[in-house]
Amino acid sequence: MYSSEQERALKALREELAEDKLWEAVVAFQGYPFYTASGLPYSYTLKIGRNGSYNKELLVDRRRESKTLSWSSVSLAFRSAMEKRGEVIVRPKALGDIRGISYIYPLLYRFGLIAVPEKAVLAMCPPQEGEA
């Protein structure tokens, strides 16, 4: 299901709940197929700066259009999730009024940082082709 790079990034993040470990996971999951809590598919890539390194902007690809998420939004959602550890986060906005939260919520769930209701799990983790 996950590549070895993704597995390593998740293990490091779960061992140390820190923003630098979150960034490593975000880097590792570029191009991974995510789904919003309403079931809409998307993936993201990271914007590359002039110096050739990632500049901490996520380019979310949503079928016909793209959206840019700043690292500050991801960081803010992460800090909110850490404050709510152990709670079920019933919907994206429960983490705060954060730009792009509908795309960040599935990341935090996939990375094992938040618990979500069963309905959200079903929307964000649809059966793969060939599964029943």
Q: DSSP secondary structure string, 55-102?
A: EEEEEEEETTEEEEEEHHHHHHHHHHHHHTTTSB--SGGGG-S-TTHH
* Residue at 130 is within a domain: no
* Residue at 85 is within a domain: yes
Note the pLDDT of residue 26.
Answer: 97
* Residue at 108 is within a domain: yes
| Phi and psi, residue 100, nearest 5° | 80, 15
Note the pLDDT of residue 63.
Answer: 66
* Residue at 131 is within a domain: no
Containing structural domain, residue 63: 4-124
Number of domains, the chain: 1
* Residue at 65 is within a domain: yes
Instruction: Give the pair of three-digit tokens for residue 128.
Output: 């793969």
Note the pLDDT of residue 67.
Answer: 86
Each residue's pLDDT tens digit, 50-68:
898 998 999 998 766 778 8
